[in-house]
Amino acid sequence: MQATAKDTAELRLGSLEELEKLRGELRAAEDPNHTRIIVCHGTGCIANGSAGVTEALKAALAAAGEDIAVMPGIKTTGCHGFCSRGPLVIIKPKNIFYQQVKPGDAEEIVQKTIKAGEMVESLLYEHPQTGEKIETTEDIPFYAGQQRVVLANIGQIDPTKIDDALRAGAYAGAAKALTNMEPKQVIEAVINSGLRGRGGAGFPTGIKWNLAAKHEGGQKYVLCNADEGDPGAFMDRSVMEGDPHAVVEGMIIGGYAIGADTGYVYVRAEYPLAIKHLEKALRDARAYGLLGENILGSGFNFDIRINRGAGAFVCGEETALMRSVEGKVGEPVPRPPYPSDKGLFGKPSVLNNVETWANVSRILDKGADWFAGLGTEKSKGTKVFALVGKVNNVGLVEVPMGIKLREIVMEIGGGVPGSDHFKAVQTGGPSGGCLPWQDADLPVDFDSLIAAGSMMGSGGMIVMDDRDCMVDVAKYFLGFLEEESCGKCFPCRLGVPRLRETLNRFSKGQGTVEDIDDLYSLAEAIKAGSLCALGGTAPNAVLSTLRYFRDEYETHILEHRCPAGVCKDLITYSIDPEVCTGCRACARACPQNAITGEKKKPHTIDESLCIRCGMCFESCKFGAVQVQ
Amino acid sequence: MLSLTIDGNKVEAEAGWSLLDTARQNGIEIPTLCYHEAVEPFGACRLCVVELRQGNNSRLVASCVYPAEQGLDVYTASEKVNNVRRWILEMLLSECPASSEIREMAAQYGVQTTRFEISDPEQECILCGLCVRACAQVVGANAISTVGRGAQKEIGSPYLTPGDDCVACGTCVTVCPTGAMSARFERVRGVPSVVMARSVKR
Amino acid sequence: MAQTAIDIDIDEIIERYPGKPEYLIFLLQDIQAAFNYISSEALTLVCDHTGVPESQAYAVATFYNSFSLEPKGENLIHVCLGTACHLKGSGLIAENLMRRLGLDGPGTTEDLKYTVETVNCLGACALAPVAVVNGQYQPKVTSPKLMKTVQKLGDE
């Protein structure tokens, strides 16, 4: 797309000095003590109506006009992470935190907080246990327990303005690398930092770079895996939406380190806002001379292109992703040859995911030692997780590696609604597994998770409670992978549907305990025999739930009962006559006309007609419909 | 020459050989379905998997694509290997029950019946993709491809209707390991007179 | 929003990208966005431009979920089946909607009024369960709510 002069920054920075001079000017031009209103425009808050809040705030400010001594600026930013409380409004410099803000609240915010410096009590976050109102971001448990490295600028900067990113320190790491370091030294720094890939397997990033760097000269590529396909995960989306320059900067550094002049970002088409912000970041970086020829006068040429995914989970696998960038069917190819020797278009290539690239920017800026001081001995740094499911504080969190599962879910996450424990926490997406409450004190790092039968994955963390059935969860992930298997290798194409077929029988109360043994054997064959990691990890959902919840499987098979009340063939719906008001809502909703009863008198469900679609359950406002 | 061990015996290999080449050159049989000398190896059927052992580590690789390397310790019929082969064959029995080739191969591994549901008793195609690769790499016609993905994948010409890219050479039928291609050849090639008429119209 | 076929010149789309195989997916995406589906004529034009054999382009068009070889409905409804949504009952919501519209699975109604598709996570897990109706997010959706929204579209 051609940039117009108006929406793109215009200034070519020819050296490190010019970059730092600009940064100094930008910082000097902004008073940090100035009142500023920040409105979260992450995907979650926008869906909850934050754009309307921004408009209302603008209008309220304009109306108050002359009564305000110093007019505050309004800044829209990427995701603040606390998605379940959106739309979020933060007032700087005090970091006053307003949540679940509606356009109708704008007037009061301006009149009370901006003009009089008072709190709007009704918009403050209330501590779920103590009931105490909390005024500032730092004091909210959800934020207090986090350590923000990758997410440091997200929520602080306007992601569509490169000047704002520069003020926050963007491109300092790349500038240092390009003007003061040899490519070898850059790789050394990444190796010394101990950074491991954030995309799933945790391969040491610097060592991966070294493999590609050793091919001297010739065409090479760096790629960014932004095909965040794990269901229940949105870390990478938030980084691209909220701080796209961190990704661009990381790729510049990587390109310089291995000797690549072209980078590709492969991003899910389902993330339109991320693509928009990334495109804007690329245009602005080009205009400033941070991409293109002779970056900052270093003699290094580098540019980045965006490829939109076309809807195939398997393209998260590195060889499949490269085939897709080439315009082909996204089927993985056997390794060796490894992509570091023969990757994209047959050239040496390095692929890292979004979070890894963002970490690279920080490492070059703040130093390998600083990064190596975070996290555990073998898992350095922090990890961003999408904390979702049956947890009070749904959102995006960044924590040091090695933190206990309990701290993430019960403290930062504020615990499980209506319960003092979780039943399971699923990590690692479809490749991962379910960890039980007994593992609540497990340190969250690459190796501990693998030892426990799951994996880090890209950072989805799905909390499940007693109403979630483990057989159903395993069946869900297998169904997902069955749909997403590319179908090339036999163990995955044939095996995953057969695993699901067996679980289907279990969820109907059929099958035998011997089937469980067969399941283990088939799972082993699929793990060992598959071509790529999609098939190689596909059985994990079954294996980990069998490992920790075998009794639940046996209850399905032997007692024909689903204790969580999920598996359709093993449950019945009924209406509690004590609670039913006879409002007829359920009877109207039932597609089978299975519900009868007189108006204002308790209704009943004819079980022989019921197809267990749950429409009655959802339509009842009184909680009279029960599932057993 | 490279020196490695297969099933405990020292064997030699030339640089550039795959493990499958090496085994066959040394008279060791490894079963394959998606492999054919005439086309690039594909690594899809996984029947040719072999076990590589190194200290306490062990992993399976597809021998058709894995290069012979100095000092490898290779096992072609270990329990881990045979478990994969048995399951693949048992699943193929339910997937393409009409293929006598698959039945024979399964029987060699002691697999006589399948525990899984059979959805299409007439099916012979195992989706090894040999026909597609032969058409592209040997003939250069590119008349057929895989269509769809995953469990829904099939082999065919665009829109699953006869097209004029097919030169009716029959190479796909020749390389097909189960004979499935002869049944669907008509659907790719079409009836010659119709094909002629269409190309004239264009 | 997709424009109608009449407004857009297919040749203009084809000329957006250089004639190289690596632009196949870009072209298919732009055609899909403009016309709501990829016609066989469009596929042939793309092949002529990029030099990709038609069989391979067809393989690509049928491999990736976002491509459709048949026209989609006037109204596009996505139901998210991501894990967070699944746990909150989105599977039943999708089933119920499809049953109401007379669909056996994801697809387009015969009158071309609706297309229902399921999607594996929109990354809006705080809003679970989520549906997207003609680009509008429907946070914390229920079967009755979604059906009402869809019903309204039909009445328009």
Looking at this predicted complex, what is its ipTM?
Answer: 0.94
Q: Are residues C12 and C57 in the same domain?
A: yes
A353 strand-pairing partners: A225
- Answer CATH for A162-372 from 3.40.50.720, 3.40.50.11540, 3.40.720.10, 3.40.710.10: 3.40.50.11540
Amino acid code (one letter) for A184: K
- Chain C neighbours among A 328-367 (CB < 8 Å)? 328-330, 345
Residue A533 contacts B where some CB pair is shorter than 8 Å: no
Residues in C touching B144 (Cβ below 8 Å): 55
| Planar angle of CA A540, A544, A549, nearest 5 degrees | 145
What percent of chain A shows pLDDT beyond 90?
91
Nearest-10 Cα torsion for A156, A162, A166, A169: 60
pLDDT of A434 higher than 70? yes
Query: Shortest CB distance from C144 goes to which of A229, A386, A618?
Result: A618
| pLDDT exceeds cutoff 80 at A287 | yes
Residues of chain B in contact with residue A336, where contact means CB-CB under 8 angstroms, are 66-67
Query: Does one domain contain both C38 and C81?
Result: no
**Where residue A2 falls among pLDDT bands split at 50, 70, 90?**
very low
Length of chain B: 202
Q: Does A483 touch chain B (CB under 8 A)?
A: yes
- pLDDT for the residue numbered B192: 56
Q: What's the alpha-carbon Rg for chain C, to the nearest Å? A: 17
Same domain, C148 and C115: yes
C86 is in which domain, residue-wise? 75-155
Give the pLDDT confidence score for residue C155 in this predicted structure: 78
* A54 close to A101: Cβ distance less than 8 angstroms: no
Predicted confidence (pLDDT) per residue in A600-625, tens digit:
999 999 999 999 999 999 899 999 99
Q: Which residue has the higher pLDDT, C3 or A148?
A: A148
Residue A379 confidence class, pLDDT cut points 50, 70, 90: very high
Domain coordinates of chain B in residue numbers? 2-77, 130-201
pLDDT above 70 (res A7): no
User: Which residues sit opposite A573 in a β-bridge?
Assistant: A627
Q: How close is the nearest chain C Cα to the Cα of B52, in Å? A: 33
Cβ of C41 under 8 Å from any chain B Cβ? no
Last residue of a domain, one of C43, C63, C83: C63
Interface with C, mutate which of B131, B139, B159 (most C CBs under 10 A) = B159
CA distances from A431 to A99, A439, B16 (A): 35, 19, 34
Residue C88 in any domain: the answer is yes
Over 90: is that where the pLDDT of A3 sits? no
CATH number of B130-201: 3.30.70
Is residue C68 assigned to a domain? no
Q: Which of C56, C57, C63 lies at the smallest CB-CB distance from B148? A: C63
Task: Identify from B42, B79, B82, B149 which residue to disrupt to test chain A contact, counting A C-beta atoms within 10 A and taking the largest count.
Answer: B149
User: Chains that contact A by 3+ CB pairs under 8 Å?
Assistant: B, C
Q: Which residue among B148, B149, B157 places its CB closest to the CB of C55?
A: B157
Q: What is the reported pLDDT for A11? A: 81
Which one is the CATH code of A31-139: 3.40.190.10, 3.40.50.10190, 3.50.50.60, 3.40.30.10? 3.40.30.10
DSSP percent split of chain C into helix, strand, coil, nearest 5? 50, 15, 40
**Domain C-terminal end among C63, C83, C102:** C63
| Tens of pLDDT, residues A329-378 | 999 999 999 999 999 999 999 999 999 999 999 999 999 999 999 999 99
Does C81 share its domain with C57?
A: no
Residues of B in contact with A485 (CB under 8 A): 149-151
In tens, the pLDDT along A550-573 reads: 999 999 999 999 999 999 999 999
CATH 3.30.1360.70 fits A572-627, yes or no: no
Structure tokens, A479: 């169904």
Helices (H), chain B: 19-25, 79-95, 100-108, 130-133, 171-175, 180-189, 192-201
Please report the pLDDT score of residue C7 as a whole number: 57
- Residue A47 has its nearest CB partner, among C23, C100, C124, at C124
Question: Same CATH topology for A31-139 and A162-372?
Answer: no
- Residues in chain B closer than 8 A to A488 (CB atoms): 42, 44, 129
User: Which residue do the tokens 């690279």 mark?
Assistant: A360
CB pairs under 8 A between A and B: 90
Mark yes or no for CB contact C123/A389 under 8 Å. Answer: no
What CATH number does the domain located at B2-77 have? 3.10.20.740
Question: pLDDT-derived band of residue A77, with 50, 70 and 90 as boundaries?
Answer: very high
Is the pLDDT reported for residue A219 higher than 60? yes
Give the pLDDT confidence of A236-271 residue by residue, as tens digits: 999 999 999 999 999 999 999 999 999 999 999 889
Q: In chain C, what is the greatest distance between 2 CA atoms, to the nearest angstrom? A: 49
SS3 C75: strand
Residues of chain C with pLDDT under 70: 1-7
pLDDT on residue A43: 87
> Is residue C63 less than 8 Å (CB to CB) from chain B?
yes
C112: domain CATH number is 3.40.30.10
**Residue ranges in chain B whose pLDDT is less than 70:** 191-202
Topology, domain A382-464: Ubiquitin-like (UB roll) (3.10.20)
Position A8 scores a pLDDT of 59
Evaluate whether B2-77 and B130-201 have a shared fold. no
Nearest CA in chain C to B161: C55
Nearest-by-CA chain B residue for A334: B43
Q: How far is it, in rounded angstroms, from Cα B5 to Cα B8? A: 6
What's the CATH code, domain A470-559?
A: 1.20.1440.230
**3-class SS of residue A17:** helix
Full DSSP string of A373-434? TSB-SSSBSEEEEEEEES-SS-EEEEEETT-BHHIIIIIIT--BTTBSS-SEEEESGGGSEE
- pLDDT, one tens digit per residue, over A80-102 is 999 999 899 999 999 999 999 99
Identify which of C40, C43, C55 has the shortest CB distance to residue B142.
Answer: C55
Cβ–Cβ pairs < 8 A, chains A and C? 151
Q: Would you list the domain boundaries of chain A?
A: 31-139, 162-372, 382-464, 470-559, 572-627
* C25: nearest Cα among C64, C83, C71, C70: C64
DSSP E strand boundaries for A516-567: none
Rounded to whole angstroms, the Cα distance separating A123 from A593 reads 44
